[in-house]
Amino acid sequence: MGHVYLTRPLGDVVEQFRQQLPGELRVHRTSGLPPTRQELLESVQGAEAIISLVTDRIDAEVLDAAGDQLKVVANVAVGYDNIDLDAAAERNVIVTNTPGVLDEAVADLTLALLLATTRRVAEGDRFIRTGTEWIWSPESYVGLDVSAGATLGILGLGRIGMAVAKRAQAFGMTIIATGRRAHHDDARSLGVSPASSIDELLETADIVSLHCPLTEDTKHLIGAEQLAAMKPGSYLINTARGPLVDEEALADVIDSGHLGGAGLDVHEFEPATNPRLRTMEQVVMLPHIGSAGDVTRDEMASLAFRNAIAVLNGEQPITPVG
């Protein structure tokens, strides 16, 4: 029996599953960082299961380094753009992800980022920390009143987008969305109207929030042309994947004054962040913490383990990709 390789310690939840695994569990343990490429290539050798994170690039080289006995790659994330699905399918390796368990946490963070950006929360916080003398002023830090009928455009209405819509409805926002689900009754009951096209959504929304997966087709979905099409003074929020947005084009359009600002939890070249965007007061940047709720992170780990165990026991995984 080959081992199960977990690319990062995941807390107490790991111990709950250690005994249930048919093989030995080996956990990458150095300094809280992901395994280096070399460490990954060496540690997967002989593994029957790899439990990976978004920071681990699992491609043909890694799958071949693991060997023919590898059965499953269980990603601890709903996104799986870090895994070469074709290479896995060619080698009969099952890939799983963790949909459903992080929708609420990511939606919470999306609203936090949306409000931090539109109501200038991070900017105000930075100002206070300078220790500068201040007094209340009717003109200070005035931002967009999202509850005064602002329109939220959800680009890619899936599970997370629906959880965002639920929150936006409570704020009294007008909600438009793209994606098949935008035409469903459950979306309508949250006050969502389908947008006829991405262009219509970009032209109409005061805030555009991205909730689509990263694929070859969606890379730079928001580039110079789309940013120029956005409503003057509007905001872009991204808690999905960094490469959906062309960050240099975003920096240009904020510089030009066309956009009101942007809230970015994810970054085009993670973990690097754009040096121009970092200097802009209208931009709020977070270190990819959308799913970082205490309960949520345990549920993600637990689902990944249950997927791996199912495959190792010859059963169907709970949440296979594809």
Q: How far is the CB of 161 from ligand DGY (least distance, A)?
A: 14
Rule CB under 6 A: choose which of 40, 54, 245, 277 binds ligand DGY.
54
- Residue 149 exposed, middle or buried by CB count within 10 Å (0-12, 13-18, 19+): exposed
Contact 3, 25 (CB under 8 A): yes
Return the active site residues: 241, 270, 288
Does position 290 bind ligand DGY by CB under 6 A? Answer: yes
Nearer to ligand DGY, 54 or 244 (CB): 54
Q: How far is the CB of 77 from ligand DGY (least distance, A)?
A: 3
φ/ψ of residue 9, rounded to 5: -60, 140
Contact 249, 224 (CB under 8 A): yes
**Interface size with ligand DGY, residues (CB under 6 A):** 7
Residues near 219 by beta carbon (within 8 Å), at least 6 away in sequence:
243, 244
Q: How far apart are the C-alpha atoms of 36 and 134, rounded to whole Å?
A: 48
Task: List, in sequence order, every residue forming a beta bridge with 320; answer none if it has no partner.
Answer: 96
List of long-range contacts for 183-186, beta carbons under 8 Å, 24+ apart: 186/162
Does position 291 bind ligand DGY by CB under 6 A? Answer: yes
Q: How far apart are the C-alpha atoms of 312 and 252, rounded to whole Å?
A: 50
Nearer to ligand DGY, 166 or 241 (CB): 241
Q: How far apart are the C-alpha atoms of 73 and 40, rounded to whole Å?
A: 13
Q: Tell me which amino acid residue 124 is.
A: G
Nearer to ligand DGY, 109 or 254 (CB): 109
- Footprint (CB under 6 A) of ligand DGY, residues 62-81: 77-79
Nearer to ligand DGY, 146 or 264 (CB): 264
Q: How far apart are the C-alpha atoms of 310 and 105, rounded to whole Å?
A: 26
Nearer to ligand DGY, 194 or 290 (CB): 290
User: CA torsion 42→63→268→153, rounded to 10°?
Assistant: -140
Q: How far is the CB of 174 from ligand DGY (least distance, A)?
A: 27
Q: How far is the CB of 195 from ligand DGY (least distance, A)?
A: 24
Q: How far apart are the C-alpha atoms of 121 and 233, rounded to whole Å?
A: 17
Q: How far is the CB of 69 from ligand DGY (least distance, A)?
A: 27
Does position 102 bind ligand DGY by CB under 6 A? Answer: yes
List interacting residues with ligand DGY (CB under 6 A).
Answer: 54, 77-79, 102, 290-291
